[in-house]
Amino acid sequence: MRQSVTVLTALLAMVVLVAAGPLSAEPAREISVIPQPQSVSYGEGRFVVTADTVIVADDELQAIGQYLSELLSGSTGYELPVRTPGDDAPVSGVIRLGLNPGPEDIGDQGYVLTVSQAGIDLSAKAPAGVFYGCQTLRQLLPAVQAQGQAADGVEYSIPALEIRDTPRFPQWRGMHLDTSRHFFSVDFVKQYIDLLAMYKFNTFHWHLTEDQGWRIQINKHPLLTDIGAWRTDKDGNRYGGFYTQDQVREIVAYAQSRFITVVPEIEMPGHSVAALAAYPHLSCTGGPFEVSNKWGVHKEVYCAGNEQTFELLTDVLAEVIEMFPGEYIHVGGDEVPKDRWESCEKCQSRIKVEGLADEHELQSYFIKRIDTFLAGHGKKLVGWDEILEGGLAPGATVMSWRGEKGGIAAAKMGRDVVMSPYSHLYFDFKQSDDPEEMGATWGGYPIPLKLVYSYEPVPAELSEDEAQHILGAQANVWTEPIETPEHVQYMILPRMLGLSEVVWSAKDQRDWPGFEARVIEHYRRFDALGLTYRDHRD
Ligand code: ACM
Ligand code: ZN
């Protein structure tokens, strides 16, 4: 449906352009917006942003107007005032942000951006669309950052055009960050969120607990961070850190103002050695344990036969629910060795009492209990595809990482899916076979930008109805080999640009040479912003 609208729009644009003759002279290459908007048509002339330009925003859009003013101040050095309509607003030199019930086909995240020599009009049905339009607007300006004042010899101008845009996957355009293997500051997490915003992602999956560190303050169980947030690395150094609840709220609000939902991940029943170091009685053996300083899959997992395990985890989730207003809570569920459960009296007794067939069904029992708890608090559970084993919990959404098989199976069961296969979307894997590449020791094979860009989130074997269950896609950034902010930037830039286009732009717009040319333009933006990246041509 959307594709036929796009085709129709393109045909109409051609008719208009043919009729108008020279108006179409502007080469498409002139703008380098990523992700590629669904439709662009060019007019005549340019709008020039000057020190006298004014932003006029509807009342509900004042905060976005302010955000746009800050973005533009960053690139131009001008401090543009933000006014409401009707104030003595000038008639020209205005960037106008407005809410508008139509047009019908752009959805709640779409926008229409009209640039003429006289002014800019950005309208959308809902604030999210206006926000995305601001990101487009920012990318239409030259790739420079002002050092406090407008740069000499730069014209801050935008070609006259009309962009009508809307995302292909409105529900889940995700990026993940593991802050447990290595810890990242609040400031860096905000910078990460800013990068997501720039490329119109709407979901930040925040991996907060692991064998190697528990990173979120839980008031009722302080040892989770007093003990669980700190490890002794192999070189003897103490390493760690955690986010206080105030910091978590600050990050969630920061993301919210950028139309990004934060999905916290609290891992269970595996990847939980840090929690078990704090509370060893929740393991099958009783411990003692140390917060791990080794990577890989650990055999120590929560005891599924012990009621206290569920008491702790529901206490934790109750506090997590208070901090994260989004719909989804991620509970991990991946890589759970069954060794301890096989030889644990309590776990075996649980299997018997509940009439479970084996340890896989015990894992399913575990996740189902948590699913029931979350559903009772108005939240949806999402977990890695191992949660399919032994039976999928009724409310669960599946994040397919071991390829697409899990996602396909879940969609065929009529269940929601986020595609995140390691074949294309593990951004901790290296980007090339270049031995000079930063951090190239990790990942069995390279995932270059072109491979990311080739990813299609909807598997061909799904029917149209089943395909509706593919909410979108997400890339993951596990940080075992990644210790610094610059290294995280290097791993996601430019690969997240490829993913942004996969999840935002129309399927039939995929065009590697065109995308590559635009990416190269974005390298100049990264340079201007002081970001570290890997040039995919190296
Ligand atoms: C995973 O990579 N273990 C989800
Ligand atoms: Zn047990």
Distance from Cα 210 to the centre of ligand 1, integer Å:
11
For residue 366, the one-letter residue type is F
Q: Whose CA is nearest to atom 3 of ligand 1?
A: 334
Average pLDDT for 46-67: 96
Active site residue 437: no
pTM above 0.85, yes or no: yes
Strands (E), 129-190: 157-165, 172-178
* Contact (Cβ atoms closer than 8 angstroms) between residue 374 and residue 395: yes
pLDDT band at 486 (very low <50, low <70, confident <90, very high): very high
Q: Measure the CA–CA gap between 356 and 342, rounded to whole angstroms.
A: 13
Instruction: Spot the catalytic one: 335, 342, 361, 389.
Output: 335
pLDDT in tens, 112-138: 999 999 999 999 999 999 999 999 999
| Total residues found in the chain within this entry | 538
Ion ligand 2 residue ranges (Cβ < 5 Å):
284, 303, 305, 344, 346-347
In this predicted model, which residue has the larger pLDDT, 307 or 12?
307
Which strand ranges, in their side-by-side order, compose the sheet holding 82-83?
Answer: 39-48, 157-165, 111-115, 119-124, 94-99, 54-57, 82-83
Position in ligand 1 atom list of the atom nearest CA 422 = 2
Query: Three-state SS for 257?
Result: coil
* 8 A C-beta contact, residue 213 and residue 272: no
Tell me if 39-165 shares its fold with 177-505: no
CB neighbourhood size of 174 (10 A): 28
What are the sequence ranges of the domains in the chain? 39-165, 177-505
Question: CA 206 to CA 249: how far, in whole Å?
Answer: 13
Spatial distance between the Cα atoms of 227 and 229, rounded to a whole number of angstroms: 6
Tell me: the pLDDT tens digits for 390-431? 999 999 999 999 999 999 999 999 999 999 999 999 999 999
Contact 388, 438 (CB under 8 A): no
Model confidence band, residue 149 (pLDDT cutoffs 50, 70, 90): confident
Cα angle for residues 172, 318, 180 (degrees, 5° grid): 60
CATH architecture of 39-165: 2-Layer Sandwich (3.30)
* Cα(170) to centroid(ligand 1), Å: 24
Q: Residue 185 corresponds to which amino acid? A: S
Amino acid identity of residue 147, one-letter, is Q
Model confidence at 161, in pLDDT bands (50, 70, 90)? very high
**CATH number assigned to the domain with residue range 177-505, chosen from the 4 options 3.40.50.2030, 3.20.20.80, 1.10.10.10, 3.40.50.970:** 3.20.20.80
For the record, the structure tokens of 495 come out as: 């690969």
Among residues 35, 33, 40, 37, the alpha carbon closest in space to that of 9 is found at: 40
Name, in order, each residue with C-beta under 8 angstroms of 121's C-beta and a sequence gap of 6 or more.
Answer: 96, 98, 112, 113, 114
- Average pLDDT on 76-91 reads 85
What are the backbone angles phi and psi of residue 414, rounded to the nearest 5°? 80, 25
Q: Which atom of ligand 1 is nearest to the CA of 420?
A: 4
Indicate if the alpha-carbon torsion angle 106, 109, 110, 116 is positive or negative: positive
| Per-residue confidence band for 1, with pLDDT thresholds at 50, 70 and 90 | very low
Band (89; pLDDT cuts 50, 70, 90): low
pLDDT in tens, 262-287: 999 999 999 999 999 999 999 999 99
Long-range contacts of 398-402 (CB under 8 A, 24+ apart): 399/330, 399/474, 401/334, 401/426, 401/476
What is the 19 CA–ligand 1 centroid distance (Å)?
55
